[in-house]
Amino acid sequence: MTTDFTPLASMFGGMLIGLSALLLMLLHGRIAGLSGIVGGLLPPFPGDWRWRFAFIGGAVLGPALYMAVAGPVEFAVPAGTLALALGGIVVGIGVTFANGCPSGHGVCGIGRFSPRSIAATLTFMATAAVTVYVIRHML
């Protein structure tokens, strides 16, 4: 299965991500880092759980609405369940050490010219590149 790059759809999706991050910052003064948003939905619930629930709900319902209108999106996951689980654990550890996830640092932090976020995003990207190289060419 091949994935066809669609520049217009990709640009539109990126604009929607940027708009949602901007609106969250303007309306709530919060950064759109998904790990922090989801973490705030775990007990004990903070007083601001409603906007967190709405944000995550939109992240789930948006693609569902798109598929209801445009039909299913074909995709393939070239990894097994164990690899996905281990990858999730490693990403969770990285998010903890980086005090945020790629969405918070990459989209919002770089947009605010945060040196910490720029360093974190460069680290995420370099680690991803090395991981792909090792898995595809060395293992």
Tens-of-pLDDT digits for all 139 residues of the chain? 456 778 888 899 889 888 988 998 899 888 888 888 888 888 887 788 888 999 899 989 988 998 999 898 888 888 889 989 998 898 888 888 888 888 788 888 888 899 999 999 999 899 889 988 998 899 8
Say what the pLDDT of residue 118 is. 94
* 37 closest CA partner among 17, 11, 56, 63: 56
Q: Side chain identity at 64, as an amino acid letter?
A: A
> Which of 48, 28, 23, 3 is closest to 107 using CA atoms?
23
Residue 2: its pLDDT value, please? 54
- Nearest to 32, CA basis, from 128, 93, 40, 92: 40
The whole-number pLDDT of residue 126 equals 94
Residues contacting residue 64 through CB under 8 Å, at least 6 positions apart: none
Give me the residue spans of the domains in the chain: 1-76, 78-139
Instruction: State pTM to two decimals.
Output: 0.72
Question: Using CA atoms, how far apart are residues 137 and 28, in angstroms rounded to an integer?
Answer: 45
Tell me what pLDDT residue 79 has: 83
Residue 102 Cα distances to 33, 40, 46, 66, 88, angstroms: 8, 17, 23, 24, 13
Question: What pLDDT was estimated at residue 42?
Answer: 86
pLDDT at residue 61 in the model: 94
Q: What is the DSSP letter of 74?
A: P
